[in-house]
C-alpha cells in the first residue's frame, strides 16, 4: 500500500476514510474484525467504551439523511466522544459563509473529526485536503462517488453469514448508474476476493462499459442474473439524481426487476437479501422478501453502528499514534 495515499498515514494506518479505492484486503479485514468486536457493545447495560473519550466529532450533513447520520451519531457516542451535529440549513454556510471558513471555525473549537455527507462528488476529499493536520475526515457519502462505510457494513454483514468471500457470487440489482453505494460495494467485493460480481438492471441504469470499467458481469434479465447467487443486494431507485426519465414507471420497474419470493427461488437456497435502505416496498422488492427469513436488512443497520465505531476509533486512535511519534521525534532532537 502506498505511503502516499492521502487517507493513510506514512505507517499505512488510517488518517481519513474517504474511499475504498487504494485500500488493501488486510485493512478491510481489520475494519471487519474490529467492528465484529464492537457488536457486543449494544447488548451491554452501559452501551459505551472509552476509546474516544475527550474527542470531538462533528457531523456535517449537507445532504439529508436519517439512517446514516443517526448511526454515525450513535457510534460516536458509544465510543464516548462528544458529538456536534451541525444543522446546515440554519448554519453560517446557509448565510453566506464559505465552507472553508466554517471548517476553520470548527477547528478553532478543537474538533478532531468531520463526518461529511454531501451531494457533490469529491466533497469529502476537498474537506480532507483543507482540514488541519490533526483533523480526520470520514466520508458519509458524496454524490455518485463513494459511500465507504455503507460498503463496509455490507461486507461485515456478508462475512457474518458467508465466511469465505472467495467462494461467493454476488448480485447487485437496480440503479447502478447513480449509486455511490454500488461503486463502493464493487470495490470492496473485488478487494476481498469475491470472484463474481453481477450487476442487474435496465440498460438506462447501468453505466456504459460497466463490465470493463467495474469488472462485473452485466445482466439485464433478473432471473438470469439471480441464478445460483449467494448474496442479493437490492438498491434504491435514486430519482433525486436522475436528470431525465430513465424509467417508464415504478410499476413497470417492479414488473421487470422487483424482487419477489418467486424470482428469488433461482438463487442459491441459502442466499441472503440485503438493501442499504430506505426500501421502497413494491418498487425494489415486495414485503414478503423484505421481511422474510433470508432478509438481513435490519442486521445491516445494527452492523452499521459497529463499522462506524471501528472506522472512527481507528482514525482517531491513529491520530494519537501520529502525535506520539511526532512528539518522540521532537524530544529526541
Residue 84 host element (H or E):
strand 82-86
**Residue 272 confidence (pLDDT):** 98
* pTM of the entire predicted model: 0.91
Domains of the chain in start order, with CATH, are 25-146+302-331 (3.40.50.1370), 148-300 (3.40.50.1370)
Residue closest to 194 by CA, chosen among 159, 218, 244, 221: 159
The confidence score (pLDDT) of residue 321 equals: 52
The per-residue pLDDT for 2 is 39
- Predicted local confidence at residue 73, as pLDDT: 97
Binding residues for carbamoyl phosphate: 67-68, 117, 147, 150, 277-278
Coil/strand/helix, residue 217: strand
Rounded-to-integer distance, Cα 213 and Cα 182, Å = 13
Which parts of the chain sit beneath pLDDT 50? 1-5, 240-245, 324-333
Binding residues, by number, are 67-68, 95, 117, 147, 150, 180, 236, 277-278
> What per-residue confidence (pLDDT) applies to 94?
56
Closest by CA to 138, choosing from 154, 158, 120, 123, is 123
Per-residue model confidence (pLDDT) at position 90: 52
Amino acid at each position: 500500500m502506498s505511503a502516499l495515499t492521502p487517507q493513510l498515514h506514512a505507517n499505512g494506518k488510517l488518517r481519513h476514510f474517504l474511499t475504498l479505492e487504494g485500500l488493501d484486503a488486510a485493512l478491510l479485514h481489520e475494519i471487519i474484525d474490529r467492528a465484529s468486536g464492537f457488536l457486543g457493545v449494544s447488548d451491554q447495560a452501559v452501551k459505551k467504551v472509552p476509546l474516544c473519550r475527550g474527542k470531538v466529532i462533528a457531523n456535517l450533513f449537507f445532504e439529508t439523511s436519517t439512517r446514516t447520520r443517526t448511526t454515525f451519531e450513535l457510534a460516536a457516542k458509544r465510543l464516548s466522544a462528544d458529538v456536534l451535529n451541525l444543522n446546515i440549513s440554519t448554519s453560517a454556510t446557509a448565510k453566506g459563509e464559505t465552507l472553508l471558513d466554517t471548517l476553520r471555525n470548527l477547528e478553532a473549537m478543537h474538533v478532531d473529526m468531520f463526518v461529511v455527507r454531501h451531494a457533490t462528488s469529491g466533497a469529502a476529499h476537498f474537506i480532507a485536503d483543507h482540514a488541519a493536520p490533526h483533523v480526520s475526515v470520514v466520508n458519509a457519502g458524496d454524490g455518485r462517488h463513494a459511500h465507504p462505510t455503507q460498503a463496509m457494513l455490507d461486507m461485515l454483514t456478508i462475512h457474518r453469514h458467508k465466511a469465505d468471500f472467495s467462494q461467493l457470487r454476488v448480485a447487485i440489482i437496480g440503479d447502478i448508474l447513480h449509486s455511490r453505494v454500488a461503486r463502493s460495494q464493487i470495490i470492496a467485493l473485488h478487494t476481498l476476493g469475491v470472484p463474481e460480481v453481477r450487476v442487474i438492471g435496465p440498460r438506462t441504469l447501468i453505466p456504459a462499459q460497466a463490465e470493463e470499467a467495474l469488472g462485473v458481469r452485466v445482466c439485464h434479465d433478473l432471473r438470469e442474473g439471480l441464478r445460483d447467487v449467494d448474496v442479493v443486494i437490492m438498491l434504491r431507485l435514486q430519482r433525486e439524481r436522475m436528470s431525465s426519465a430513465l424509467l417508464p414507471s415504478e410499476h413497470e420497474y417492479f414488473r421487470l426487476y422487483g424482487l419477489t419470493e418467486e424470482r428469488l427461488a433461482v438463487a442459491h437456497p441459502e442466499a441472503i437479501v440485503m438493501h442499504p435502505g430506505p426500501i421502497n416496498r413494491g418498487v425494489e422488492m415486495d414485503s414478503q422478501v423484505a421481511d422474510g427469513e433470508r432478509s438481513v436488512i435490519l442486521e445491516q443497520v445494527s452492523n452499521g453502528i459497529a463499522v462506524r465505531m471501528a472506522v472512527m476509533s481507528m482514525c482517531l486512535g491513529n491520530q494519537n499514534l501520529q502525535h506520539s511519534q511526532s512528539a518522540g521525534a521532537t524530544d529526541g532532537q
